[in-house]
Amino acid sequence: MDDRVILRVGTKVLSPFILLFALYVQFHGDYGPGGGFQAGVIFAAVFVLYALVFGLERAMEVMPAKVAYACGALGVALYLGVGYLSMFRGGEFLNYSYLFDPEHDPTHGQHYGIIGVELGVLVTVFGVMVALFYAFAGRRRIDT
């Protein structure tokens, strides 16, 4: 542990707000710029920041590498799941209109379908970014 107090306190104070901003970017994507990809990167940035200030080991206690790997796969599965669900409901693959009763209001299904796949993108991008950072930062320099 080093004595860079401003960095440590600043990181702790800022982290929840950055996470909140990531959620804002995620759910405000319907109305303005943003969406799953950007939100996932911002989410991952919090853990990268944490690792840079507090060290990789402590960051891996907060967000274990296995969880990050699982997130990377889970998001793709979620995306595919939404696609298959709309198939089982009688529509085409990824035709969200069939997620709910399409006769009544197809936009209802579209709304939830988009939320679902954006969540999948968020989870994948978050997991992959954290995993990539761990993979790069976890290696030691080999002096020959």
Partner 1 sequence: MTEAMVQIVDVVLLVLLAITGIAVIRTRNLFVAVMLAGIYSLVSAGLFVVMDAVDVAFTEAAVGAGISTVLLLCTLALVGYKESKPQHTPILPLFVVIVTGGALVYGTAEIPPFGEADNPAHQNVAAHYIHDSEDEIGHIPNVVTSVLASYRGYDTMGETAVIFTAMVGVLLLLSRGPLPKRVYHAGHWHKVKRGVTREDLIAEMEDEEVHDSTVVGGEDEDG
Whose tokens are 């006769």? That residue is 103
Contact residues for 101 (Cβ-Cβ < 8 A; gap 6+)? 108
Site for partner 1 in 82-141 (CB under 8 A): 83, 94, 96, 106-108, 110-111, 113-114, 117-118, 120-121, 124-125, 127-129, 131-141
Whose tokens are 């069939």? That residue is 98
Contact call for residue 63 and partner 1 (CB under 8 A):
no
Contact call for residue 7 and partner 1 (CB under 8 A):
no
- Which residue in the set 21, 75, 99, 102 belongs to the binding site for partner 1 (CB under 8 A)? 75
Nearest to 121 by CA among 63, 72, 70, 48: 72
Cβ closer to partner 1: 54 or 134? 134
3-state secondary structure of 128: helix
- Cβ-count burial of 9 within 10 angstroms (0-12 exposed, 13-18 middle, 19+ buried)? exposed
Q: How far is the CB of 12 from partner 1 (least distance, A)?
A: 19
Instruction: Say which amino acid occupies 31.
Output: Y
Contact call for residue 21 and partner 1 (CB under 8 A):
no
Token couple for 47? 């853990």
Token couple for 13? 């104070």
Residues near partner 1 (CB under 8 A) are: 25, 29-35, 37-38, 41-42, 44-45, 48, 52, 65, 69, 72-73, 75-76, 79-80, 83, 94, 96, 106-108, 110-111, 113-114, 117-118, 120-121, 124-125, 127-129, 131-142
